Amino acid sequence: MADVGQRHSGGGIRMVDGATGEHLGEWEKGEAYMILSRDTYANNKHLVDELIDTSLYRGGAPVRPKPGYFADGGVGGTGAVPSVAGASASGQELIRAVERVEDAVRALPSRQYIGWDQTDTAAIELELNYRAQDREHAAIR
């Protein structure tokens, strides 16, 4: 965060190419700035691009995960977990275990139902009554 410097109206804080003197851009006091490594950008391109897009074109609107993320009910890719070159034997064993778990989860039925009838409802109501009586007897509020 730039705590010092000018606002855009006062010239901003200029980014200049040290070799050519070319003006590359500017930011102002109170705006966040960072330089990301090539690897960070390559591994997070979608997120960085969305942040730039919202900053330039959407008034800083929140960046939301795209559908397909696990928290949104999305699913994984092909199911193949890549081997990690040079990983230890225990690391490779862990990868194989994850692959087995993924295969087992994918083999589960897509929908499961719970059977429920009046007997189940009556049993739960009876249990709740017993608990209420216990609380009253022990004067628990």
First and final CA of the chain: distance in angstroms? 52
* Cα→Cα distances 8→33, 37, 44, Å: 14, 26, 29
Q: What is the pLDDT of residues 75-114, one digit of tens each?
A: 555 444 455 555 566 777 888 888 898 888 888 877 666 6
Please give the distance of CA 84 from its chain centroid, rounded to a whole number: 23
CA torsion sign for 51, 57, 62, 64 is negative
Task: Fill in the amino acid letter for 37.
Answer: S
Tally of CB atoms within 10 A around 94? 14
| Whether the Cβ atoms of residue 26 and residue 14 lie closer than 8 Å to each other | yes
Query: What is the average pLDDT value for the chain, to the nearest integer?
Result: 77
Any idea which of 33-37, 65-69, 101-105 has the lowest mean pLDDT? 65-69
| Higher per-residue pLDDT: 66 or 56 | 56
